[in-house]
């Protein structure tokens, strides 16, 4: 059983879910609220987790993709009505992020917006209710990250960032990801790949985070574990390496993300479409890389060279070309139109991408025209 103590305690192994009772005890949680979604329940994963724990667990299994402020408030009510004393977040980024937001509101006075990055609210985030995060997708890495994203009642997609939002314990059991369908394995895996790439390229100085990101890139692309996880879903080694790469992606993005995430965040604000974060990143990524490769200066080229080395591709080859080919191999939707975006969405996507926190850590500061061109090409 690997115990990786980096930003938190990460218990990582096939069968690690057996450690849940010990984790609850070590955080002093006697009455947890387990937060998950219907897909996890229907796949039988919820039952598996409940049978691993001995305590009385209150279950909320209605988390929606792209969680909202309204649902966060609903969770806080359930938490308080049942006198809960901690959260178990079971699922992908949506379940873990909403548990973080609810853990924050359960312990702090005031409206959620006050704590968001838009109002520089991170400084108001103190200790929150304890969370044990159990990822069931290999993509977001939210189980080890400082961030949570929630769609606010105002329609904006708000991010909350604080070291206090890192779940104190993450239980990473690759066997829990075996039932993830191929299209979600591909999309969430490409999210992890994008985290690693954008983190390495971000201009912040943090060589340890870059080394972790490069290791994730090698695992996903050069060692071909993402392809194998998609096409050999029961390959336990592939699931292990993809969950590790996902965790690595989030450890790496402490140094920032980039324009691809700015576009993905901005597009997933459109409530009527409820688009998947990973699929958006996968579609935008090669187009964003194409612009970066054209505009790269010497420092960025040095990083692109390290990325190519980690991917195992020739120095003369473009990373964007390799990512286009990877998307095709993984059956990622070929363009934005296929998932419902239209030319009429371009203005608002560009407007909010320019305001997104990930925009400012892109290796090149994109302007409105860069984003517009990328959106229309990806359409
Ligand atoms: Zn992401």
Residue 55 pLDDT > 80: no
Percent of the chain with pLDDT over 70: 99
What integer pLDDT is reported at residue 68 of this predicted model? 93
Under the banding of pLDDT at 50, 70 and 90, the label for residue 59 is very high
Examine the pLDDT at 250 and tell me if it is beyond 80: yes
Q: How far is the CA of 195 from the centre of ligand 1 (A)?
A: 6
Residue 270 has pLDDT above 90, yes or no: no
Asked if 268 and 66 count as a contact pair (C-beta separation under 8 A), the reply is yes
155 against 124, higher pLDDT: 124
Q: How many CB atoms lie within 10 A of CB 56?
A: 10
Residue 262 CA to ligand 1 centre (angstroms): 10
- Residue-wise pLDDT tens digits, 131-150: 999 999 998 899 999 999 99
pLDDT recorded at residue 1: 79
pLDDT for 211: 97
- Whole-number percent of the chain with pLDDT over 90: 88
State the distance from the centre of ligand 1 to the C-alpha of 82, rounded, in angstroms. Answer: 33
Asked whether residue 2 carries a pLDDT value surpassing 90, the answer given is no
| CA of 367 relative to ligand 1 center, distance in Å | 21
Please tell me the distance between residue 144's alpha carbon and the centre of ligand 1 in angstroms: 13
Cα-to-centroid distance, 80 and ligand 1 (Å): 31
Query: First vs last Cα of the chain: how many Å apart?
Result: 45
CA of 246 to the centre of ligand 1 (A): 10
Predicted local distance difference test score (pLDDT) of residue 117: 86
Dist. CA 181 → ligand 1 center (Å): 19
Mean pLDDT confidence for 146-155: 90
Query: Which pLDDT score is estimated for 7?
Result: 83
Using left for φ > 0, alpha for ψ between -120 and 50, and beta otherwise, residue 9 falls in: beta
Per-residue confidence (pLDDT) for residue 275, from 0 to 100: 92
Is pLDDT at 156 greater than 90 in this prediction?
no
Write the pLDDT tens digit of every residue in 15-43: 999 999 999 999 999 999 999 999 999 98
Whole-number pLDDT of residue 339: 96
- For 84-133, the three-class secondary structure string (H helix, E strand, C coil) is CCEEEEEECHHHHHHHHHHHHHCCCCCCHHHHCHHHCHHHHCCCCCCEEE
Sorted by where each begins, the domain ranges of the chain are: 2-176, 179-378
Q: How far apart are CA 210 and CA 221, in angstroms?
A: 16
277-298 residue pLDDT tens:
999 999 999 999 999 999 999 9
What spacing in Å lies between the alpha carbon of 249 and ligand 1's midpoint? 9
Is residue 152 a contact partner of residue 158, using CB atoms and an 8 Å limit?
A: yes
Task: Give the pTM.
Answer: 0.93
Q: Give the model confidence (pLDDT) of 94-145 as tens digits.
A: 999 999 999 999 999 999 999 998 888 999 999 999 999 999 999 889 999 9
Q: What distance in angstroms lies between residue 140's CA and the mean position of ligand 1's atoms?
A: 6
Out of 1.10.510.10, 1.20.1090.10, 1.10.1060.10, 3.40.350.10, select the CATH number for domain 179-378: 1.20.1090.10
The CATH classification number of 2-176 equals 3.40.50.1970
Please give the pLDDT value at position 262.
96
- Is pLDDT at 313 greater than 80 in this prediction? yes
* Distance of CA 253 from the midpoint of ligand 1 (Å): 9
What is the band of 49 on the pLDDT scale with cuts at 50, 70, 90? very high
Classify strands 9-12 and 2-5 as parallel, antiparallel or unpaired.
Answer: antiparallel
Kindly state the average pLDDT of the residues 356-376.
95
């Amino acid at each position: 059983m690997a115990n990786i103590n980096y930003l938190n305690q990460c218990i990582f192994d096939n069968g690690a879910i057996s450690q849940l009772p010990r984790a609850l005890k070590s955080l002093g949680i006697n009455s947890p609220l387990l937060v998950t979604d219907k897909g996890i329940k229907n796949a039988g994963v919820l039952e598996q987790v409940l049978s691993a724990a001995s305590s009385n667990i209150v279950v909320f299994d209605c988390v929606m993709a792209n969680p909202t402020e309204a649902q966060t408030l609903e969770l806080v009510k359930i938490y308080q009505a049942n006198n809960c004393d901690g959260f178990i977040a079971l699922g992908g980024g949506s379940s873990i992020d909403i548990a973080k937001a609810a853990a924050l509101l359960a312990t702090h006075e005031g409206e959620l917006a006050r704590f968001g990055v838009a109002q520089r609210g991170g400084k108001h985030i103190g200790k929150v209710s304890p969370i044990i995060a159990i990822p069931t997708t290999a993509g977001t890495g939210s189980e080890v990250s400082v961030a949570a994203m929630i769609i606010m009642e105002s329609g904006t997609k708000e991010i909350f960032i604080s070291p206090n939002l890192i779940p104190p314990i993450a239980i990473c059991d690759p066997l829990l990801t075996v039932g993830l369908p191929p299209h979600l394995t591909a999309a969430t895996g490409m999210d992890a790949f994008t985290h690693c790439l954008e983190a390495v390229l971000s201009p912040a100085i943090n060589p340890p985070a870059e080394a972790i990101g490069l290791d994730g890139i090698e695992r996903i692309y050069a060692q071909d574990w993402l392809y194998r996880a998609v096409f050999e879903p029961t390959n336990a080694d592939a699931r292990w390496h993809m969950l590790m790469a996902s965790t690595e992606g989030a450890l790496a993005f402490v140094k920032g993300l980039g324009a691809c995430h700015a576009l993905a965040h901005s597009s997933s604000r459109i409530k009527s479409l409820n688009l998947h974060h990973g699929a958006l990143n996968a579609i935008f990524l090669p187009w964003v890389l194409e612009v970066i490769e054209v505009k790269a200066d010497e420092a960025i080229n040095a990083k692109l060279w390290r990325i190519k080395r980690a991917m195992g591709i020739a120095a003369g080859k473009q990373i964007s070309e390799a990512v286009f080919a990877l998307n095709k191999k993984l059956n990622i939707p070929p363009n934005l139109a296929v998932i419902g975006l239209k030319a009429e969405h371009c203005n608002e996507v560009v407007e909010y991408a320019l305001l997104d926190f990930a925009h400012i850590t892109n290796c090149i500061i994109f302007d409105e025209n860069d984003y517009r061109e990328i959106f229309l090409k990806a359409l």
